[in-house]
Amino acid sequence: MKPVLIVMTSHGDKAGHGPTGFYLSEVTHPLEEFLAADLPVAFASIAGGEPPVDGLELEDKVNATFWADPLFRAAIRSTQKLSDVNPSDYSAIFFAGGHGAVWDFPVSKAVNDVTRAIWERGGVVGAVCHGPAALANVTLSDGTPLVKGRKVAAFTDDEERAVGLQDVVPFLLSSRLAELGADMQPGADWTDTTAVDGRLVSGQNPQSAASTGRRLAEAVKAAEAGNARD
């Protein structure tokens, strides 16, 4: 089984409104699900090296377990640069959230190139919370946005307003994906909400991180068995 590539933002500042980065539970909770499903994993970030972390909530038992694990910490300190990875090495790509993602995922050529290559080889694409900002960048070889006509869950405009960052982020994520033709699947604010459309798996918020990881693992197994649809 080829690994799932977990991708994190390298952007650490909310346009002068405080630090940000990847949201820890949006890596650790899906990671726990991948490992429980016996899926190998690898880590990448936009710039490579150690990405900035947000949501360092160690009262969360899953966060605390991984944060205390020297192997996990070493892996996070030395992520691959996304533009350096070989897409054919991976069964799936998974974009973790954190507000930083809305700044660097949508403008990264590597996000488009690597995601397109994995998808068009029959692999799985996943993202959670602000991670679907990556999907605002991804077009297929014919120029069609990957999300067009597909069910997608992502951090909602209402949730962005609830955290007071609607005028700070470069765009409202759910609105942008809808403009690209995504069939948005919003749940109530802060509820566990996922969307699965064949090999595309997405989740709305931090509360959705574990279920998004679990459903992505299921999609990878289906794709490996030849039972997944586009």
- In the block, tokens 């910490």 appear at 73
pLDDT of res. 75 = 98
- In the block, tokens 């699965």 appear at 196
Which of these CATH numbers, 3.40.50.880, 2.40.110.10, 1.10.110.30, 3.40.50.720, describes 4-224? 3.40.50.880
160 is catalytic: yes
pLDDT in tens, 27-86: 999 999 999 999 999 999 999 999 999 999 999 999 999 999 999 999 999 999 999 999
Domain boundaries, the chain: 4-224
130 is catalytic: yes
pLDDT of res. 77 = 98
Identified catalytic residue from 129, 159, 218, 224? 129
User: What are the E-state strand segments in the chain?
Assistant: 4-8, 22-23, 41-45, 53-54, 80-81, 92-95, 124-128, 151-152, 183-184, 194-197, 200-203
Position 164 pLDDT exceeds 90: yes
pLDDT in tens, 114-161: 999 999 999 999 999 999 999 999 999 999 999 999 999 999 999 999
Q: What pTM was estimated for this model as a whole?
A: 0.98
Lowest-confidence region among 16-25, 33-42, 155-164, 220-229: 220-229
pLDDT of res. 133 = 98
Proportion of the chain above pLDDT 70, given as a percent = 100
Identified catalytic residue from 11, 33, 130, 159? 130
Please give the distance of CA 146 from its chain centroid, rounded to a whole number.
14
Average per-residue pLDDT for the chain: 97
Q: For residues 88 and 219, give the distance between their C-alpha atoms in angstroms, rounded to a whole number.
A: 17
Q: For residues 89 and 228, give the distance between their C-alpha atoms in angstroms, rounded to a whole number.
A: 19
Position 103 pLDDT exceeds 80: yes
pLDDT in tens, 165-202: 999 999 999 999 999 999 999 999 999 999 999 999 99
Identified catalytic residue from 26, 32, 159, 160? 160
17 is catalytic: no
